Amino acid sequence: MRVLVRPNRPACLHAFGDNRRVTSPNLQSPADLTQRIHHAIAQAGGWLGFDRFMAMALYEPGLGYYTNALQKFGAMPSSGSDFVTAPGMSPLFGQTVAVQVGQALDATGTDEVWEFGAGTGALALQLLDSLGDAVKRYTIIDLSGTLRARQADTLLQHAGKVRWLDAWPEVIEGVVVGNEVLDAMPVQLLQRTQGVWHERGVVSSGEDFAWQDRLTDLRPPVEIEGEHDYLTEIHPQAEAFVASLAERLLAGRGGAAFFLDYGFPEAEYFHPQRHMGTVMCHQLHQADDNPLVAVGQKDITAHVNFTGVALAGQNAGLEVLGYTSQAWFLLNLGLAERMAAASLAERSQAQRLVNEHEMGELFKVIGFSTSTDWSAQGFARSDRSHRL
């Protein structure tokens, strides 16, 4: 579920983990991406795993959804946009998150903020305005030339602090922010049919694409109760991303990381009743569940398995600071007090960040640190780490 409210965008281990460079937008048509994927399917023997299909649909240089020139961000479909971001919805979002980032900078003795997939730059602006001299440098890693230009315009007043990298370095020191980063990382699809597990992939069907399942030894991380047919996802790229980030944080003086995204702990993610998977697409503020059409013209996402993310960080040497809902995270950091001092219109918009039926409960926050000698304020109440 998207709530059609989309805090910031995106990352993919394949892109951020190698030295692929940011690609500027071009005027190639959607048909060019379709042809390229058909060619990849042919080269792969006629079948392409969904993770590779999703990676190409979102990140193929100059053609994928996040590397082409489509509008993406905006409040109304009339603008040609597909979703609105939480920082764009209310500046109170970034101002409140800044409280946690500031505490983490002080606790880790660092002065740099890192953001993967900074979208329009709205969150970066809110953080920089709020944190002032506590931030000496703000580093953005983003795949989109179009969005980088938009970020530069948004952050013009902080131009002396902001830098952009095409790929992440070997050492990261500071506080990492990932606002809806993990949900945009390619996933593998697993389909249980009549008790037998298959990996779901994509094949060519004339000029279109179609699903095809193949027998596999892959399994979800937990046993799925029942004998009914069951579709789900596994997240090796997101987990590898977190593990790689951990290595880089631990290679330096240390730091912390906070990921805000929609998803569930393992027991909820692989619940027997969640048998249709979580892959969703978003275009012109409408949601659908078919990523095989309008390829490159719409967003493709999957919910996050936060248990897998937590284990990936722990196994790589990080400590879990906490895990809770976005509502409790923001309330712990003083959002209610900020709302009380705001106008009615501002309160109305900020309320959507914490309403249970909108972003408040569906979105979760997980925090990591290289040390355990401090407690993160965002998890002071209603820490759900025990549910991971």
What whole-number distance in Å separates Cα of residue 387 and Cα of residue 45? 42
Burial class (CB in 10 A: 0-12, 13-18, 19+), 161: middle
Res. 20 pLDDT band, cuts 50 70 90:
very low
Bridge partners of 137?
112
- For residues 143 and 292, which has the higher predicted lDDT (pLDDT)? 292
pLDDT recorded at residue 3: 39
User: Helices (H), strands (E): how many in the chain?
Assistant: 13, 18
- For residues 234 and 9, which has the higher predicted lDDT (pLDDT)? 234
Res. 173 pLDDT band, cuts 50 70 90:
very high
Contacts of 163 (CB under 8 A, 6+ apart): 137, 138, 139, 140
pLDDT recorded at residue 318: 98
pLDDT recorded at residue 258: 98
Res. 305 pLDDT band, cuts 50 70 90:
very high
**Mean pLDDT of the 54-79 span:** 79
The pLDDT mean for the chain works out to 90
What whole-number distance in Å separates Cα of residue 134 and Cα of residue 151? 21
Tell me: the pLDDT tens digits for 318-334? 999 999 999 999 999 99
pLDDT recorded at residue 81: 57
Is residue 247 scored above 60 in pLDDT? Answer: yes
**Mean pLDDT of the 164-187 span:** 94
Is residue 14 scored above 80 in pLDDT? Answer: no
Cα 169 to Cα 17, 143, 330, 370: the distances in Å are 9, 15, 30, 17
Tell me: the pLDDT tens digits for 121-169? 999 999 999 999 999 999 999 877 778 888 999 999 999 999 999 888 9
Q: Given the DSSP bridges, would you call strands 230-234 and 286-288 parallel, antiparallel or unpaired?
A: unpaired
Which domains occur in the chain, in start order? 13-186+235-387 (3.40.50.12710)
What whole-number distance in Å separates Cα of residue 151 and Cα of residue 153? 5
